[in-house]
């Protein structure tokens, strides 16, 4: 019942959809917790990441911040560069240990990646290696804007090549004035061999509970 959430790019809406999934599963009576293994940028005065904090707020399982966000860096750059800047090397074993602790407390763990599916974590490993190590089915967030079809299909190819199942995808509208939005969604539905879990419109204010109402978890495939 746990999933790895990736996106077509940075700012595709991974946090919004991850929080929406937490709300949707929570509404089913599940114990849910969100995890942001690596975060770069968006830190508050306590050096806590904004996205990780949103995931914690959407969770109904109380876990330590270090469990939900093992690596937090202040520089808003690729994770391997943010880590290198402070002399840290991102270790997958540390992330796996935190995930194991969360999974022991919850029915559903929603793990949100950083950036896209091939973002480097260190000199040898990237986000794909983390997803494979976690052995989780993937949910893809497609940021609906010009160019998204190419980005989405390349990401789907990378997910398939990793050997992980693509459990479903979400169309998250970033550009409400996008030309031929419905036709773009239809083109992706024809080409992605996984269910469209929902279309989330451009909301005046990001609202994970409203986004949750746009998702159909019954369509999720493992």
Q: Residue 187 burial by CB count (10 A; 0-12/13-18/19+): exposed, middle or buried?
A: middle
CA distance 76 to 89: 16
Please check whether residue 32 is in contact with residue 59, taking contact to mean a CB–CB distance below 8 angstroms: yes
Q: Of 14, 36, 54, 189, which is the active-site residue? A: 36
Nearest by Cα to 191 from 149, 147, 143, 142: 149
Residue 167 phi, psi dihedral angles, 5° rounding: -75, -25
CA distance 120 to 8: 15
Measured CA to CA in angstroms, residue 34 lies from 38, 54, 112, 129 at distances of 12, 9, 8, 19
Helix or strand or coil: residue 32? strand
CA distance 4 to 26: 17
75-112 burial, b at 16+ Cβ within 10 Å, e below that, comes to eeebbbebbbeeeeebebeebbebbebbbeebbbbbbb
36 part of the active site: yes
C-alpha 122 chain-centroid distance: 19
Residues catalogued as catalytic: 36
């Amino acid at each position: 019942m746990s999933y790895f959430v990736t996106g077509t790019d940075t700012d595709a809406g991974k946090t919004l959809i991850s929080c929406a999934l937490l709300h949707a599963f929570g509404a089913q009576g599940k114990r849910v917790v969100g995890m942001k293994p690596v975060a770069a940028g968006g830190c508050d005065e306590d050096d806590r990441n904004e996205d990780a904090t949103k995931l914690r707020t959407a969770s109904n399982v109380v876990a330590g911040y270090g469990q939900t966000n093992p690596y937090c860096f202040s520089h808003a750059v690729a994770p391997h560069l943010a880590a290198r800047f402070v002399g840290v090397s991102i270790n997958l074993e540390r992330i796996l240990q935190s995930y194991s602790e969360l999974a022991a407390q919850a029915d559903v763990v929603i793990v949100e990646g950083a950036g896209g599916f091939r973002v480097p974590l260190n000199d040898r490993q990237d986000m794909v290696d983390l997803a494979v190590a976690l052995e989780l089915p993937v949910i893809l967030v497609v940021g609906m804007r010009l160019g998204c079809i190419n980005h989405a299909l390349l990401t789907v190819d990378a997910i398939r090549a990793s050997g992980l199942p693509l459990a479903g995808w979400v169309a998250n509208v970033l550009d409400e004035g996008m030309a031929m939005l419905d036709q773009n969604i239809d083109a992706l539905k024809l080409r992605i061999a996984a269910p469209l879990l929902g279309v989330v419109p451009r909301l005046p204010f990001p609202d994970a509970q409203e986004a949750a109402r746009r998702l159909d978890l019954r369509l999720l495939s493992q």
